[in-house]
Structure 1
């Protein structure tokens, strides 16, 4: 007999895990996808132990929980991935993804490399997409052109990007690795990777 919890996790369209370093162009590609295929994709609401910022809403921006509650839920296997940044915990719960799938939407998960490896250990069965810059030089130029961070912060991002680019080459880790040196070509590849799921969602909406 199949585990009913696992059965529930498989219901609905396959999620799409998008990974890649900051500056690779994930946000731009996602924006194009969401514009062309309106009403097809959804985003899960992450959990965090940090306090809400002004204007943020519970259940819309994040699910705000205590560290104790989150640790217990992680230990209980309720999270597909989690990480810690600046002393706060962040993570994606199975229930949050299932809530998107229940609406018959493709859940988009923007996940770092550690999260990708964590998801590989679950029964989520997503489509794994890695968006990579053409080179470290181009990535550095893109990040510097943003003029949004200190040199120290920039160097940290570049180091993380270098590691990300190397790991993305591991055979079988991603279903598709897209080098974003031409936006239209990269978008075409992203669309091809998820087209089958898009079609399923559209067909289900028609019926």
Structure 2
């Protein structure tokens, strides 16, 4: 069976990455597609784990070659999902999760109409501000710009199928996991998964 494609988006500081990492640890049938970015790694980030880090020249070469499933300029840096990170995993029957922004999500939905979109919101602007400051990686000016960008990002929540408010982490994680579980129980998927069982249940009894 072919896997399903999921998109998880959120404003910076909403806790998206923490939720995604916890979900991946819980469910081995979900594969995270690691995006490419033109920005340098932040302290503690590792190439191939958080992002594939390339310079802008290489990123532009990849765009020209059609290597990306989606790409966008985000906060002054390029980010994109390579086709080779998505299609082979779907073909193996794994669900693939794209952790991208609304711009990339729109591109993916244009190409894969059945992709399932999930948007994560913070419980308040104050909570968003506090979470950004806890990183202790950005200046006051950068935080102010990110808060302004977050408001714009959150205005696009209506383009997604599901909405999760990350106020209590465990509750939000359970809700995220439930979306993946419910998707696997859709009639079309279950008919493929249990084809022999269904045919046997509906067969006429021997005369």
TM-score interval for Structure 1 and Structure 2 normalised by the shorter chain: 0.7 to 0.9
Whole-Å separation in 2 of the counterparts to 1:60 and 1:27: 10
Aligned to 2:81: 92
SS at match of 1:121: helix
Q: Give the alignment of 1:141-152 within 5 angstroms.
A: 141-152=130-141
Aligned to 1:8: none
Aligned to 1:35: 25
What is the CA-CA distance between 1:187 and the residue it aligns to?
1.7
Aligned to 2:99: 110
Aligned to 1:19: 9
Whole-Å separation in 2 of the counterparts to 1:158 and 1:43: 26
Aligned to 1:194: 180
CA 1:63–1:150 in structure 2 vs 1: closer, same or farther (change >3 Å)?
closer
Whole-Å separation in 2 of the counterparts to 1:122 and 1:175: 16
What is the CA-CA distance between 1:103 and the residue it aligns to?
2.9
Whole-Å separation in 1 of the counterparts to 2:182 and 2:131: 32
Pick aligned residue for 2:165 from 149, 173, 179: 179
CA 1:121–1:154 in structure 2 vs 1: closer, same or farther (change >3 Å)?
same
What is the CA-CA distance between 1:97 and the residue it aligns to?
0.6
- In structure 2, the gaps of 5 or more residues are 194-207
Aligned to 1:127: 116
Whole-Å separation in 1 of the counterparts to 2:82 and 2:112: 13
CA 1:94–1:152 in structure 2 vs 1: closer, same or farther (change >3 Å)?
same
Q: Normalization by structure 1: what TM-score?
A: 0.74
SS at match of 2:4: coil
SS at match of 2:93: coil
Pick aligned residue for 2:61 from 64, 69, 89: 69
CA 1:125–1:95 in structure 2 vs 1: closer, same or farther (change >3 Å)?
farther
What is the CA-CA distance between 1:109 and the residue it aligns to?
0.6
Q: Normalization by structure 2: what TM-score?
A: 0.74
What is the CA-CA distance between 1:27 and the residue it aligns to?
1.8
Whole-Å separation in 2 of the counterparts to 1:119 and 1:61: 19
- In structure 1, the gaps of 5 or more residues are 1-10
CA displacement 1:80-114 (0-9 Å, x = unmatched): 31123587643113332112213322111111111
Count of aligned pairs between the two proteins: 185
CA 1:185–1:153 in structure 2 vs 1: closer, same or farther (change >3 Å)?
same
